[in-house]
Amino acid sequence: MISFQLNGEDTQVDVDAAKPILWVLREDLKKIGAKFGCGAGICGACTIQLDGFAIRSCITPISAAEGKRITTIEGLKDNLGQKIKDSWNDIQVGQCGYCQTGQVMACHAIMQQNAAITTEQVCQQLNNICRCGTYSRMKKAIANIIEQRND
Amino acid sequence: MDRRSFLHISSASIAVLAIGCKAEEQQKTGTDIPQAQDTAQPDVEEAVGTTLNNWVEIYTDNKVEVYISKAEMGQGISTGLAMVVADELNAKWEDIKVSLVGEMDQHYFSNAGIPVTFGSTSTKTQYAQLRFVAAAARQMLEEAAANQWGVDPSEVSSANSQVLHPDHGSLDYGELVEQAALLPVPELPTLKTAEEFTIIGTERKRIEHEAVLEGKVVYGIDADVPNMLYASVRKSPVFGGEVLNFSALSHPEAEAIVQIPNGIAVVATSWWKANQIVQSLAVEFSTPAELMGVTDESIMENLLNSLDESGEIAHSEGDAESGLAQAATTYDAIYKVPYLAHAPLEPVTATAWVQADRCEVWAPTQAAMSIRTAAQEITGLDTEKITVHATYLGGGFGRKGESDYAEQAILISQQVGTPVKLIWNRPEDLQQDFYRPIFCAHLVGGFDADGKLTTWYGKSVGSSVLLQQGASFAIDPTSVEGFDALPYEFDNEYAEHVSIESPIPLGFWRSVGHSQNTFFVECFMDELAELMNKDPLDFRRELLPNTSRALAILERLETMSNWGNPPAGRHHGISFSKAYSSFIAQVAEISFDEANKQVTIHKFYCVADCGLVINPNGLRAQIEGGISFGLSAAMNEKITIQDGAVQQSNFHDYKVLTLPSAPEIEVELIQGSSSPGGVGELAVGPSIPALVNAIYAASGIRIRSLPISEALA
């Protein structure tokens, strides 16, 4: 039995301790927001947060979540999260959208760590893959959020 | 309000017409279509029948459901086509919802090309028909209201899902739908004029966008069927190899291990487990003798040698042979491009449930009907017993027009007797792709004594996707698109193509022939311009004297990019392309680190004329995305083959573009025609030569072989 908080709710799963968090979320907990893209921790489509830090859930075993807080896109409800989603929606960043939950979770984690972070710094750190190439809009959306933060 | 969904607005059929010949002809010559002239009325051409309910349903609570049969893979077609329907119907945009359906049977216009989402044709091939459908519904609703008020239909108007009359007020569509359903369907509905558009041409948000960010959109990979098992597959790494030791394979945690063509599938209660097992099994594959020793290098050597072979003539105007013989100056160059993978971020996946008397498949697909056909062949069931659920796609780019992965899922489910969700792992996705073919081209230009480029000669060697699929014609048009019949005006123009059989599976990669041909043509144009000491933009302009749509975008681009005057430390490169009934030109603005041979792509400027703009936001997004897709391939992408097997296995060795390296992109749109052109693939091809030409301007290095990272190493 592995126990953790999922989006604020106490959760327990009875699975192989080595099962990656991504597949526990998708198969056992029916949370489909985190996506599978590479299985090697490279593309970032599976990005969620563990105790507020971005992790690639396709290579992180569920045992690592014991006693911790998991946040997925379904539970991203704080002020910063809403700002990011609003900016993303405003700029219309997504095309197929498949990578975007991971992008938002990663962006949120990056911005959360540093209240004074610049757009350039966020863009240097946010290396999740988007095959549709929405990068130029992501950059604009990020710049808008940073601007708001600084207001 | 009670929503009674069984009330439809008529089941009678109407005639719907495709976009007429005249509009297409005008697109081909690129001549101006005056904005005032309303060619929003398609010419009368082939009319086919359809039923309103196949495409739009209006409910008593005023909600309008639009059926989208083209695949939504990020190009925004579901929003775009819904906008077309909503506008013509005079429906309230906020009340529109879309439902994705597989393109076949009642959800297929038979005068709309083939039932596949491909070739940047979705808007072009459904635009007119959907307008007729929506117009018919609008007219019937207006008539129903007029009847209720006892007035002539000419006295009413409609807007925002209401019919209006100056004296009688308004009636909601939802209130009228019962009566409207009883009326005869107009034979040839009257379409709105372009001036009457209220939604087409306006900025609209993607219908699914908010839901995407909530994790609520269901992609193919998210399909969930009760009692579903999971499968992962492994095919022979050498193409065509067979499993030699199937009977020896077993694993205590596998629910089943089944055979699929050239490989095996492991079925388990978790995909992670199925995948772990399939990757760990000691599967022995045969190694087809003809593929031993075959590498991408040996294939390219064969292509280059085949430049001496006789091919098929793709285009001939004037006399290129004489033109070159008489030229004061001739110049030539050879270009090469590698195999490319699609690598959509959602790997190929399909969920199938085969039972004795029915078969259901959920798949992200660009060709739902091909999956149904495959299901028929595999199960022997009739079409009425087969349902294909066409889901949202996490990227397609041409890969998801193939039915191979759905066929595997169907076979696996058939063998295990339960619903099975098949997901390919990323190595499988990269190694069992249908690749953009490897290509080379030899280009020769001939100038007269005045420095005019009189003669263009091009010969390309590659392999044909369509011929590999069993088609039979002299030249695969998708091999030579963008290589034959160039928009430039030459006295003599000649294009020849040599087609070589490919040992590697080939497929349609976003922009297909344009993906390599635009690189060949637009890089060579720059080399020719330089030979004559001409500015690359001026050089192109002089060769497009009668194509006003081309001149218009070049002029706008020149100003927009401050062409020729990049910021200090930066350099410009340009490209132009006419494709998909659209025109596009791009300027890349880069800087080059001499010491490390590093390219930084700062910005891309682009002006495009895609004819009638349905959703400007969506159009710009497709151009931005197409540029990124092209740059990604140009900078780093290459599939290498060793002994008939692909060597790349994940994004660490098949490197795609990421945000830190991505440029700013500025797009302007010119609407040079009132018929919609294609855009989904338009920006891919030209992005590459714009970049390569900029690198030359920055460094003096001519890159004639991709990817750039290899050329600069």
Asked if A88's CB is within 8 angstroms of B213's CB, the reply is yes
pLDDT of residue B15: 61
Q: First-to-last CA distance in chain A?
A: 46
Query: In chain B, which among 104-123 make CB contacts under 8 A with chain A?
Result: none
pLDDT digits (tens, 9 = 90+) for B250-269: 999 999 999 999 999 999 99
List C-alpha distances in Å: A42 to A20, A36, A58, B430, B656.
15, 11, 10, 14, 11
Q: Is A129 exposed, middle or buried (0-12, 13-18, 19+ CB in 10 A)?
A: buried
Instruction: Calculate how close chain B gets to A60, using CA atoms only, in Å.
Output: 12
Longest dimension (CA), chain B: 84
Any A CB within 8 A of B621 CB: yes
Distance CA B690, CA B603 (A): 11
Best residue of B73, B213, B219, B365 to probe chain A, by most A CBs closer than 10 Å: B213
Q: State yes or no: pLDDT of B39 exceeds 50.
A: no
pLDDT of residue B12: 52
CA dist list (Å): B621 to A91, A132, B391, B559, B612: 11, 9, 21, 22, 16
Give the contacts of B317 (CB within 8 A, at least 6 positions apart).
Answer: B490, B492, B493, B494
Query: Where would I find the beta strands (DSSP E) of B290-343?
Result: 312-317, 329-337
Render pLDDT for B86-97 as a digit per residue (tens, 0 to 9): 999 999 999 999
Cβ neighbours of A118 in B, within 8 Å: none
Residue B34, pLDDT score: 29
Q: What is the pLDDT of residue B18?
A: 56
Continuous H helices in B432-563: 465-468, 477-480, 513-531, 536-542, 548-561
- In 10 A of CB B298, how many CB atoms? 12
pLDDT of B14 strictly over 80: no
Q: Which amino acid is at B550?
A: A
Pick from A43, A47, A57, A136 the residue to mutate for testing the B interface (most B CBs within 10 Å). A136
Instruction: Please name the residue of chain A whose CA is at the shortest distance from the CA of residue B426.
Output: A38
Which residues 52-71 of chain A have a CB within 8 Å of chain B?
A: none
3-state secondary structure of B129: helix
> Among all chains, which residue has been given the structure tokens 């992180």?
A60
CB contact under 8 A, A135 and B662: yes
Confidence label for A151 from pLDDT (cuts 50, 70 and 90) = confident
User: pLDDT class for B8, splitting at 50, 70, 90?
Assistant: low
Q: What is the pLDDT of residues B58-75, one digit of tens each?
A: 998 999 999 999 999 999
- Cβ B651–A43 below 8 Å, yes or no? yes
pTM metric for this prediction: 0.95
Q: Is the CB of B632 less than 8 angstroms away from the CB of A31?
A: no
Distance CA B532, CA B542 (A): 13
Q: Which of B205, B345, B658 sits opposite A127 (nearest CB)?
A: B658
Residue B310 to residue B327: CA distance in whole angstroms: 23
Query: Quick one: average pLDDT of B229-238?
Result: 98
A86 touches chain B (CB under 8 A): no
What is the rounded average pLDDT of the residues B575-590? 98
Q: To the nearest whole number, what is the mean pLDDT of chain A?
A: 97
pLDDT classification of B46: cutoffs 50, 70, 90: low
Confidence at B190, pLDDT banded by 50, 70, 90: confident
CB B600 within 8 A of CB B47: no
For residues B203-215, b (16+ Cβ closer than 10 Å) or e, as one string?
Answer: ebbbbbbbebbeb
pLDDT score of B645 more than 60: yes
- What's the mean pLDDT in B672-682? 94
Per-residue pLDDT tens digits for A1-19: 999 999 999 999 999 999 9
Inter-chain contact A43–B344, Cβ cutoff 8 Å? Answer: no
Q: What pLDDT is recorded for position B48?
A: 74
pLDDT band at B540 (very low <50, low <70, confident <90, very high): very high
| SS3 state at B285 | strand
| Nearest Cα to Cα of residue B340 among B462, B473, B483 | B462
Residues 255-294 of B with CB under 8 A from A: 270-273, 275
**pLDDT, tens only, B649-672:** 999 999 999 999 999 999 999 999
Pairing type for strands A2-6 and A69-71 reads parallel
How far apart (Å, rounded) are the C-alpha atoms in residues B361 and B408? 11
- Considering only CB atoms, A133 lies closest to which of B76, B392, B624, namely B624
DSSP category for residue A27? I
Q: How many CA atoms lie within 13 A of B599 on its CB side?
A: 33
pLDDT score recorded for residue A52: 95
What was the pLDDT predicted at B24?
42
SS3 call for A60: coil
Select the residue of B215, B224, B627 nearest A33 (Cβ to Cβ). Answer: B215
CB spacing of B632 vs A133 below 8 angstroms: yes
Contacts of residue B344 in chain A, CB cutoff 8 Å? 96, 131
Q: Per the structure block, which two tokens stand in for B113?
A: 């090309």
Per-residue exposure over B137-171, b if at least 16 CB sit within 10 Å of its own CB, e if not? bbbbbbbbbbeebeeeeeebebebbbbbbeebebb
Q: How far apart are CA A61 and CA A65, in angstroms?
A: 8
* Cα B144 to Cα B11, B15, B88, B152, B170, distances in angstroms: 16, 21, 17, 10, 12
Q: Which residues in chain A are closer than 8 Å to B628, comparing Cβ atoms?
A: 130, 132-136
The answer to whether A36 touches B221, Cβ cutoff 8 Å, is yes
* Amino acid (one-letter) located at B512: V
Q: Provide, as residue numbers in chain B, all residues whose Cβ is less than 8 Å from the Cβ of A74.
A: 214-215
For helices B368-379 and B404-416, the axis angle rounded to 10 degrees is: 40
Model pLDDT for residues B361-408, shown as the tens digit of each residue: 999 999 999 999 999 999 999 999 999 999 999 999 999 999 999 999
Residue B318 neighbours by CB distance under 10 Å = 15
Record: contact A101-B212, CB cut-off 8 A: yes
Whose structure tokens read 């309000």?
B1
Alpha-carbon span B207 to B98, nearest angstrom: 8
Q: Best interface-test mutation with B: which of A47, A76, A89, A95 has the largest number of B CBs within 10 A? A: A95
From chain A, the residues in CB contact with B345 under 8 A are 35, 37, 43, 45, 96, 98-99, 129-131
**B130 close to A (CB below 8 A):** no
Q: Residue B212 pLDDT > 50, yes or no?
A: yes
Q: pLDDT for B543-572, tens place per residue?
A: 999 999 999 999 999 999 999 999 999 999
- Owner of token pair 């596009």: B584
B395 close to A (CB below 8 A): yes
Separation CA B504–CA B645 (nearest Å): 9
CA–CA dist B190, B171 (Å, integer)? 21
Nearest to A97 among B217, B343, B631 (CB): B217
Q: How far is B516 from chain A (nearest CA, A)?
A: 19
Are A88 and B664 an interchain contact pair (Cβ–Cβ within 8 Å)? no
B632 CB contacts (<8 Å, ≥6 apart)?
A133, B656, B657
Residues 6+ apart with CB under 8 A from B89: B56, B64, B134, B135, B137, B138
**Cross-chain CB nearest to B345 (options A15, A126, A129):** A129
Do the Cβ atoms of A94 and A73 come closer than 8 Å?
no
How far is C-alpha B76 from the chain's CA centre? 11
Distance (Å) from the C-alpha of residue A118 to the closest C-alpha of chain B? 14
pLDDT at B47: 67
CA distances from A115 to A39, A139, B140, B399 (A): 31, 17, 58, 42
Q: Does A40 touch chain B (CB under 8 A)?
A: yes
pLDDT-based confidence at residue B13 (cuts at 50, 70, 90): low
Q: Are A132 and B395 within 8 A, CB to CB?
A: yes
Share of chain B above pLDDT 90, in %: 89
Residues of chain A found within 8 Å of residue B629, distances taken between Cβ atoms: 131-133
The answer to whether the Cβ–Cβ distance between B345 and A104 falls below 8 Å is no
Helix, strand, or coil (residue B284): coil
C-beta of residue A132 within 8 angstroms of C-beta of residue A95:
yes
Mean pLDDT of A27-52: 98
Q: Residue B273: its chain A contacts at CB < 8 A?
A: 16, 19
DSSP letters, B369-435, are HHHHHHHHHHH---GGGEEEEE-B-S--TTGGG--HHHHHHHHHHHHHSS-EEEE--HHHHHHS--B
* pLDDT higher than threshold 70 for residue B163: yes
Please state, rounded to an integer, the average pLDDT across all residues of chain B. 93
Instruction: Give A6 to chain B, closest Cα distance, Å.
Output: 15
How close is the nearest chain A Cα to the Cα of B330, in Å? 40
Q: What is the pLDDT of residues B470-529, one digit of tens each?
A: 998 889 999 999 999 999 999 999 999 999 999 999 999 999 999 999 999 999 999 999
